[in-house]
Amino acid sequence: MSVSIKKPDQIEKMRIAGKLAADVLVMIEPFVKPGVSTGDLDRICHDFMVNDQKVIPAPLNYHGFPKSICTSVNEVVCHGIPADKRTLKEGDIINIDITVIKDGFHGDTSKTFHVGKPIQHAARLVDVTLECLYKAINIVKPGATLGDIGHIIQQHAEKNYYSVVREYCGHGIGEVFHEEPQVVHYGKKGTGMILQEGMTFTIEPMLNAGKRHVKLDKKDGWTVTTKDKRLSAQWEHTLLVTNNGVDVLTARPDEPF
Ligand code: MF3
Ligand code: CO
Ligand code: CO
């Protein structure tokens, strides 16, 4: 259907927004330590984005979301709301999801951090989730399909005895935060939309240590947790399909792109 193909001037703006979103994750890393609250992390990111980067934090007021970033700790799958009373402790894992708007264009990226020294079983989940994202990124090129992306993520997750969340997915992105297509993280090779040069979208797999089923908090309307309360991890990048492959618009300097 109506998937937007970005023009060169739009792609240039997506590159800038992507780099700025990546920079926020680099900036916040040293603050992710035992004793910090997710409310603190939100304030630090908000002030950096607004005052230094001069970007708009896209989550703030997005469909009523109350904060500038998402902070999803342990069994929280996604869309965790930062709070001053939620203090991180040694051994927690936390996904920080950053979306900025610069010059009208969005950059969306997230990373799961260990708080203090990584715990082995958590590190395995976090690492396999990142491998799923990287394997998917590596097959992106014109002619590949969305089903190819879902398939490679599901294969690698399930081979490692993890489950893939179905209810939330990657998405087209540009002047609109969430646009077509939906990029699901499971599926069959060769099915679904064919990728074309100039498409921009995210891949953002959520893997659970236990069962794939999730629960939405009825009270706050946002926080998604695993039903079985076991750990969940997520990583996200914003991508551009190029003439012969992919550019990772939100790549950090320490990544192999
Ligand atoms: N950044 C999330 C994504 O990857 C969306 C967050 S929407 C919010 O698509 F409202 F929760 F911020
Ligand atoms: Co996203
Ligand atoms: Co995001």
Output the CA 82–ligand 3 centroid distance in Å. 15
Three-class SS state of 222: coil
Output the CA 210–ligand 1 centroid distance in Å. 23
- Distance between first and last Cα of the chain: 30
Three-class SS state of 232: strand
59 lines ligand 1 (CB under 6 A): yes
Tell me: the pLDDT tens digits for 141-189? 999 999 999 999 999 999 999 999 999 999 999 999 999 999 999 999 9
The more confidently predicted of residues 207 and 1 is 207
Contact of 212 with 184, CB cutoff 8 Å:
no
Q: How many CA atoms lie within 13 A of 91 on its CB side?
A: 3
Q: How far is CA 66 from the centre of its chain?
A: 18
Pocket test for ligand 1, best of 68, 97, 223 (most atoms within 8 A of CB): 97
Q: How far is CA 24 from the centre of its chain?
A: 13
Report residue 249: phi and psi, to 5°. -70, -20
Taking CA atoms, 160 is separated from 153, 154, 165, 212, in Å, by 11, 10, 15, 14
* Cis bond upstream, residue 181 (ω within 30): yes
108 lines ligand 1 (CB under 6 A): yes
- pTM for this entry: 0.99
Tell me: the pLDDT tens digits for 76-108? 999 999 999 999 999 999 999 999 999 999 999
* pLDDT level of residue 1 (50, 70, 90 thresholds): low
